[in-house]
Amino acid sequence: MADPRPNVIVYLTDDQGYGDLSCMGATDFRTPTLDRLAKDGVRFTNWYSNSPVCSPSRAALLSGRYPGNAGVRSILRGHRTATGLPATTPTLATMLKKEGYQTALTGKWHLGLAEQSRPGAHGFDKTFGFMAGCIDFYSHIYYWGANRPGPSLNPTHDLWEDNEEIWRNGEYFTELIAKKAIEYIREMSKADKPFFLYVPFNAPHYPMHAPPEYMDRFADLPWDRQVMAAMISAVDDAIARILDELERLGLTENTLSVFTSDNGPSRESRNWLDGTQDPYYGGTSGGLKGHKFSLFDGGVKEPAIMHWPARIPAGQVSDQSCASMDIVPTVLDAVGADVSQYEIDGASVLSHVADGTDLPDRPIFWEMDSQTAVRSGKWKLVLNGQLVEHTEPIAQIHLSDVENDPGETVNLADSEPQITAQLTQLAEDWRAGIEKRWEDDYASADYEYVAHGMV
């Protein structure tokens, strides 16, 4: 008898802005596969990552915890002995493996390169991809790191299958991710138990590389927007191939698919193997304030889709506030696991997307260096908010009504003193709890972080 529990696939893009899907407002390129996935499932308009940068966001997604409670608060180093996600933090792969699931990853890890921090130590049976923060899309070399403190990083080849280093020089990495995902699906579908597949793409993170056939589609766009459109279109096509394989194998109906991005679009100046620092602003936050590294919505508000034909009705658009840490409890709920056995900060959204129930009111918090933020209902408070990395805060206290002012253009801190005081206290109390947890459980450990921008 076939196992009735769903297969689970989580797709994650890298530095993709809120407005960089056609179903989220992009008009200069199309993402037909993800548009169709959204049309056949639920699209979220108030979905947040739990951090404005890579490693903490991924730690939250895989653990169901705020980054500080998961043990990863900043970008992790990329040398081969760099530690990362603590062994004491269970991941969705660990949890689902305990429930009898097969587990696999194909794509970007960025939660540590040391043996105890790699995917295999965190519940993944099979792994294909790279361990650090970024690689050249064709040579698969992690090269950004010249003249940085710590062990030499420039250049370091970074492509692995399980714990074996492999070479696929000249093959575009987005396409390699899809090929391996299809291979894993074919292999795992032969077993009499369901699977969890984690597919974290590195696109559209720098370096800005795309195959000529994709660049040719957008020849009329400015270069940075052209390559951004090309990279995202390649991801859309890669997901199409994975979905086609699920359909061919008869797995579509009972596969829970989740799609989102790790943080907002980048405005960094890092690109080529020779160290040239070309600025590129090709991503769009869809009119939101801020970018990657910022706790304004442009840095943390993301496109998100859930699709499960057997359980989630098609054609939904949800405006409920959700976050990537909600993925773990939602998946555990979907597979019938006991969520209470784990320390979880997120909340299951299954009853909301499957049955139409409203989610309970709750605040969602963020922290990034000196920045702290909270969203509660229609209010969003940002303390010491920056627009991009290495800049001064634009205001010590910034309060917005994000329902009526999604671009956070008007600071209401002075005109709404009671709300401002309440949310400031709430945010500061939460941040104090994170700092205490960090000091008690993680500060003395040998975790290796980089300053902002040193990916």
Q: Which residue among 79, 110, 140, 307 is the active-site one?
A: 110
Alpha helices in 211-314, H assignment, sequence order: 212-215, 223-248, 297-300
Element (H, E) at 141: strand 141-142
Residue 23 appears among annotated catalytic residues: no
How many residues does the structure list for the chain?
A: 455
Q: Is the peptide bond before 155 cis (omega within 30 degrees of 0)?
A: yes
Element (H, E) at 261: strand 255-261
Q: Which residue among 54, 205, 352, 452 is the active-site one?
A: 54
**142 pairs with which residues across the strands?**
156
CA distances to 48, 50, 440 from 364, rounded to whole Å, are 9, 9, 23
**381 pairs with which residues across the strands?**
374, 399
| Residue 103 · residue 93 · CB < 8 Å | yes
Element (H, E) at 301: strand 301-307
Coil, helix or strand at residue 174? helix
The DSSP output letter for 113 is -
Q: Which two tokens stand for residue 171?
A: 């093959």
- CA–CA distance, 291 with 215 (Å, rounded to integer): 24
The DSSP output letter for 131 is -
Q: Which two tokens stand for residue 75?
A: 């970008």
| Residue 258 · residue 332 · CB < 8 Å | no
Residue 110 appears among annotated catalytic residues: yes
| Catalytic residue set | 54, 110
